[in-house]
Structure formats: structure tokens, C-alpha cells
Structure 1
């Protein structure tokens, strides 16, 4: 049960993530889906590998939505990728932008470490 929040972070488009978290999670998802997709392809054919390709697409959309939330955009901004050439480039630029340094309507700043280290010098 304690792994549920971690798994939901890959599958649900809620909240905010930093650029580093986004890139790390996309790479992990790509590696896992490639490995299991290859095994499923050898065992079940194209349908098996296709299932893991769809799984990766779902994860990539959820992670991109979380990343867009960090810069204050809604997930429907991903529809810009439909526009040939310029659309995917625009989305990539948005995903690589620095996130907002303050809480926004999608949640608290994921890179904020305001209470990381507090030293009581009063007494």
C-alpha cells in the first residue's frame, strides 16, 4: 500500500513535478515499458508490445501534464503537439521551462525547501 502514491505519480495527471523529476520519470517509464514490451512482444506478438506502447503514451501524457502544471499551464496545452513541426517544439519548450517559484492553482512548489533546515539560535 505504501507504493500507491509513487505509482499514482506515474499514472495520474495531478500535482506538480520539477524538470528533473519529469525527465527521470520519463526515462524510467521508457526503460521499463521497452523491457516489458519486448518480452510481451516475444510472447504475445504485436498486441503484447502494443499494450506497453500505449502504457508508455499514457504515462508520458500524465507526466507532461504534471510538468505543465508546474509552470501554471493546464494539461490541454499538450494538444498543441498536434500542429506539425511547431506544435511539438512549443510543447518541448514549455516542458523545459523553469517552474513557478510559488504555489499555484495546481499545488505547492515541488522544488521549495523552505522548512528543510531550521536552526533555533534563540536558545
Structure 2
């Protein structure tokens, strides 16, 4: 949960780097929270015809900027420009490419700052 809160604290910080561990733990907790919110929406009958729920919509609005910021910082960690995040706009293929890029190991010190001190061999 610390990884999730660390990303939330850096709500709109697009500079610097995010390790694989920080990115993937944030995404895991984000998915688990989204599933829980979806269950609550369904249980309370707050789902709309589109399938989206009230709480799910609020959570999506809340988490959009932190998700974007941690993705940009993760791209910086592998030595890529943050604008690469826009590749997800390419249907299906863009998401796959971005997913693969997020799994790349960190680059040593680069123009985005020094490498984080997290153990990159854990994954």
C-alpha cells in the first residue's frame, strides 16, 4: 500500500523517475481498488446503462492524473521521453507496446536523474 500512497503523494509530478516496482505495485493496487469499487457500485445499484458506476467514475477521475504521472516517470526511468505515453492512443497495439515498455529494466543514471535505489531484480 506504501507504493500506492507514494504515487498519490506525487499526484502531478511528471519529472523524475519511477522504478518498475513503484509502477507495477501502484497498478496492482489500483486494479484491486477498481474491482472493489465496481462491486460496491453493483451492490448499491449505482450502475448506469453504459455499465459504469457512480463510484467507479469518481475513482477514475481521482486516479487519472497520478496514473499518467507515474507512467511518464516510468518511461523516464527506462530512458524514454514521457511523450511516449501517447502511444496508448493507437488502438490495441499502442497499449501492448506501452505495457512491454513498462516492463523494461531501469537504465542507469540518465538525463532524467539518478537511478532509484530499489531492487530491480525482484521482478
Bin the TM-score by the shorter chain.
Answer: 0.5 to 0.7
| 2:96 counterpart of 1:89 | yes
TM-score w.r.t. the length of structure 1 is 0.67
TM-score w.r.t. the length of structure 2 is 0.67
User: What does 1:18-33 correspond to in 2, within 5 Å?
Assistant: 18-33=19-34
2:71 corresponds to: 64
Larger radius of gyration: 1
| 2:80 counterpart of 1:73 | yes
Unaligned runs of 5+ in 1: 114-123
Distance 1:53 1:42, change over 3 A: farther
User: What does 1:91-106 correspond to in 2, within 5 Å?
Assistant: 91-102=98-109, 104-106=110-112
Q: How many corresponding residue pairs? A: 109
Query: Are the equivalent residues in 1 in contact too, given 2:88–2:98 (CA < 8 A)?
Result: yes
Unaligned runs of 5+ in 2: 47-52
Shift of 1:60: 2.2
- The SS at the match of 1:97 is coil
